[in-house]
Amino acid sequence: MLEAPVAEAVMLGFDFGARRIGVAIGNTVTGEARPLAVLPAEGEARWTRIAELIEEWQPAELAVGIPRHPDGTAHELTARCEKFARQLEGRFRLPVARVDERYSSAVVEDGRDDLAAAVILQQHLGER
């Protein structure tokens, strides 16, 4: 019996910060993510750029890192990241996974937001 081919699904991952938003791209076939872009965190320009990325890459799903302290309690940015995830869902009508990112910043040494987004998306792909 032949197995049905696995459909590739492109995904975009986001690392929301107070000043910048890191963006990564990945797919479900390879299970790998890579850095894609860094956007400003405030203003309408971010939504325009996110819309362009969604139009260009046609993702099936989005993932947003949700920061927490090591003990699991809310971080000072937790509520803002949750709000950003809800805004993505509302604006683009795509499923948005929330990914626990409490250790992603420790992995990214140089503070690159797009690399942090790739770590977040990679973690989500690994959990699928």
In angstroms, the CA 98 to CA 5 distance is 28
In angstroms, the CA 43 to CA 110 distance is 25
Going by pLDDT thresholds of 50, 70 and 90, the confidence category of residue 110 is confident
- Contact between residue 114 and residue 38 where contact means Cβ atoms under 8 Å apart: yes
Question: Residues 65-104: pLDDT tens digits?
Answer: 999 988 989 988 999 999 999 999 999 999 999 999 876 6
The domain segmentation of the chain, as residue ranges, is 14-127
The answer to whether residue 118 scores a pLDDT higher than 90 is yes
Cα distances (angstroms) measured from residue 27 to each of 20, 41, 85, 93: 23, 24, 19, 19
The dihedral of CA 50, 36, 33, 29: what is its sign?
positive
CATH code at 14-127: 3.30.420.140
Q: What is the reported pTM?
A: 0.90
Q: Note the pLDDT of residue 102.
A: 78
Between 2 and 43, the more confident residue is 43
The answer to whether residue 106 scores a pLDDT higher than 70 is no
Question: Residues 4-58: pLDDT tens digits?
Answer: 555 679 999 999 988 999 999 999 999 999 999 999 988 999 999 999 999 999 9
